[in-house]
Structure 1
Amino acid sequence: MSGYGGDDSGHVSASVKGVGAPRADARRNRERILRAARELVHEPGELRLNAVAKACGIGQGTLYRHFPTREDLLAEVYRREVDDLVAAAPDLLVARPPLEALAAWFDRVAAYARVKRDVFAAVEAATWRDLAAHSLGPIGEAVEVLLAAGRSDGSIRVDAEARDVIVLISWLSRLDDTELDARGPRLLSIIVDGLHVNRP
């Protein structure tokens, strides 16, 4: 009986190692693919999956197992950018006053705008419309978290709505890199100043 138990225990242990290792490796590969695609989508010309695989140092078969099509990959690049942007709002509020947190979040918005512009230019219209529709809610909720904190401490005007901010920052993704670099920080600073409650 003890022999059976030992064999079974050894078998389970080997199975866990066999299952766990590929999963961790797959997660790492997925992250590498997304990072490479995020960088390469910004390059001139059409994003090619073989270029992404080469940049990651993985085989094309591995890439296709994670992302069967180019649009699947680009859609996930955009979703990840949205997730990171949304998650940043409460994190920033932990360490900073609301108005400073909002300004810091806007710095991340500029990077998000670049990814949005490049991804939406590279995918079919139906895909980017779907992505935009599903990201609007979470981004709006993140803005509201920041605004609500500022309303509570009196630093942000009480009539400011998340939709107001979304409309204003949406123009960033329509700017090319030169204009985004030149005007982006100033435009976002103007929005922050407009949201600030001016104290006597």
Structure 2
Amino acid sequence: MRSDALSNRIRILEAAAEVLAGPGDTSLKSIARRAGVGQGTLYRHFPNRECLVLQVYGDEVEDLVNAVPGLLGTLSPQHGLCAWLRRLLYVGRCAPEFAEAMSGAGEVQTEACRQAYRPLLDALSALVAANAAAGTIAPGTTAEDVLTLLGPLWRIGADGEGEDRAERLFDVLMRGLCPGNEPRDQ
């Protein structure tokens, strides 16, 4: 990548992190304006909002991806899946833009976005496959299915009552994904 293009990309990511962290207008137009680039430049680097958001939350994505081998090496597949999904739920509830971006993971249209989603989908697919091999997940379940089911939990309010409700519904989700098992006690 040319140095000016790399500089633009870095400025866009820095501006996006600032804009997404604060209240107010979080549109791509406002991100481009804060970065000092045109919208065309922003779209050349990030074809849509989801791709940009996943890059902004790159550290969280990397942590989630890197956690899978350790979870599968130390916990049962079911408990590893539960722990990983609990962490993903936490990230999404703390960062609504991340949750919104992840909600579209199953309907990715561009190659750039597929590449942005791929590490997380591969990580979740490994957990789903380990559970399938152990017979601890509903047959035919895919990583995309799990993300679709998790999506509504990201939208529950962040107050105390919302936290309790999200936890209850997460337990229901896990009992549905892993019938006959109790994943809560990891």
Quickly name the TM-score band, shorter chain normalised. 0.5 to 0.7
Match of 2:70 in 1: 95
1:29 pairs with one of 11, 14, 36: 11
Offset at residue 66 of structure 1 (A): 4.2
Match of 1:171 in 2: 152
Higher helix share: 1
Distance 1:34 1:47 in 2: 8
Distance 2:179 2:57 in 1: 25
The alpha-carbon distance between structure 1 residues 30 and 196, as it changes in their structure 2 partners (threshold 3 A), is farther
Q: Greater Rg, structure 1 or structure 2?
A: 1
Match of 1:133 in 2: 107
1:156 pairs with one of 120, 136, 142: 136
Matched-pair contact (CA < 8 Å) for 2:11–2:35: no
Matched-pair contact (CA < 8 Å) for 1:155–1:196: no
Match of 1:3 in 2: none
Offset at residue 161 of structure 1 (A): 0.8
Match of 1:7 in 2: none
Distance 2:179 2:138 in 1: 10
Distance 1:173 1:66 in 2: 31
Give the share of equivalent positions with the same residue, in percent: 16
1:38 pairs with one of 7, 15, 20: 20
Q: How many residues align?
A: 163
Distance 2:148 2:91 in 1: 17
Offset at residue 147 of structure 1 (A): 1.2
1:185 pairs with one of 160, 163, 167: 167
Match of 1:61 in 2: 36
Give deviations 1:95-132, integer Å, cap 9, x for gaps: 11333432232222343362256679xxxxxxx98x76
TM-score under structure 2 length normalisation: 0.56
2:81 is equivalent to residue 111 of structure 1: no
Give deviations 1:146-195, integer Å, cap 9, x for gaps: 1111233x372352612553442121244233365332233223433441
- 1:177 is paired with a residue of what secondary structure? coil
Matched-pair contact (CA < 8 Å) for 1:38–1:115: yes
How large is the RMSD of aligned CA atoms in angstroms? 4.6
One-letter code aligned to 1:93: V
One-letter code aligned to 2:166: G
Gap runs ≥5 in structure 2: none
Matched-pair contact (CA < 8 Å) for 1:110–1:172: no
- 2:69 is paired with a residue of what secondary structure? helix
Distance 1:87 1:36 in 2: 20
